[in-house]
Structure 1
């Protein structure tokens, strides 16, 4: 046992006295600030849960009993929703929102969602933006 203590002490002394050289390494050029630029995006997100051609579908549902909720706690939906230039579904499609959302509120209905908004036409063609957020669906009603 005494030999292990001596070995441990020797290792600690080696670590203390060993000179190390560490520095940050990056292949990228440091960011240089430029004048702030603001981009305003304006589009409409159409999430259709029913009908012949739904854009969001239930992919997992918990095995629990409860009320007749469309999305009980733990339900997971996959989506591929059109993004349009106007509020009507017949407006010009400018991209798609693809992702997942899960019913995450046990007492107060809410969703945790991940969406990737991919733009396929217009000024931002080829661009995308991702959003990961919580949506308290009953807190804000129109």
Structure 2
């Protein structure tokens, strides 16, 4: 790149960001000022439900797999998009209370560990229309796994907390799993 082209590109970028700052800086953005909730209004909710996972394409699909993952015992690098039902009880025919949607990636070469980025959307009772977001490490072969709740919507705005997952049933042949969840969510 010649010195002239470098200065021309640099001058253009400086001009562009200066104009953007002026235009955006003078924008009249309207909205209400939200004050933090009053002291002592934080609540803790305990939610209990079952998560139904299936690798046969019903509830999840592989969206990425690096060629080395085909040789890996853990399928390291595999990524899946998921849309799992959440039910009140462990049976697949139990009352549907929500869905979990998002992504997970197999993130370990040595053991089956998922990096999960999931939103748990609830359809029932006072939580109808509310959701929690979970982002974290899930070592699926451990008897009890804990992942953080990093946010939420609806009644779970400003949520924080954790979920604990226990495998209720796992079928090695077809990859179907039922996972019992307890979510402890602090919210306002």
TM-score scaled by structure 2? 0.54
Please show how residues 1-142 of structure 1 align to structure 2 within 5 Å.
27-50=33-56, 54-64=58-68, 66-67=71-72, 69=73, 72-140=75-143
C-alpha distance in 2 between matches for 1:33 and 1:44: 34
- By percentage of residues, which structure has more strand? 2
Normalized per residue, which structure has more helix?
A: 2
Instruction: Identify the structure with bigger relative contact order (alpha carbons < 8 Å, sequence gap 6+).
Output: 2
- RMSD after superposition: 2.1
Distance (Å, rounded) in 2 between the aligned partners of 1:96 and 1:30: 30
The count of corresponding residues between Structure 1 and Structure 2 is: 113
Matched residue SS, 2:62: strand
Match of 1:8 in 2: none
Runs of 4+ aligned residues of structure 1 deviating over 3 Å after TM superposition are: none
Any idea what the Cα deviations from partners look like across 1:28-53, whole Å, max 9, x if unmatched?
22443115422111111111112xx6
State the distance in 1 between where 2:106 and 2:36 align: 41
Q: Distance in 1 between matches of 2:36 and 2:132?
A: 23
Higher CA-based Rg: 1
Tell me the distance in 2 between the aligned counterparts of 1:126 and 1:32. 24
